Structure 1
Amino acid sequence: MNSIKFNFSHPVSGRARLLQLTPKTNNCRTLAINSKEDNTIEIPVNDCQCGKWKLELSWEYEGRDFSHQEEFEVEN
């Protein structure tokens, strides 16, 4: 898996956090996200270490705050 892709019905601008769920690690990355014209966001995960991760998206649209969370696993 090289990336996680999302298609929205509206423009999205906010942040994505990648947190590794492996015990005894503090591996965390924060990325700015912006869907631009096509309302699509692609989060690169190709440089994430093997193991379980949690993706947290947060953004604002028309004055309202939104968020999405999901877990995924990176394998060899």
Structure 2
Amino acid sequence: MHRVVSRWLDHRGKWVVDTGPWLGSHEDAELWAGQLRALGYLARVESIASQVQGGGADFDLQGALAGMA
């Protein structure tokens, strides 16, 4: 599973980070990331494998689970 993570500066100069939905194919995620880059966004593809292996933290999921506890 793969998703696109994009960042941009808002009108106050603060970074905004947005994550897209999980996609089944790396190629689909790269296509979407390329579209966002063409529009001027900083975009990268994130893989769920890196999440499972401890390569990064999924703060959205952690926040949602913490809110349910």
TM-score, normalising length: structure 1: 0.36
Q: Which has the higher strand share?
A: 1
Q: Which has the higher helix share?
A: 2
TM-score, normalising length: structure 2: 0.38
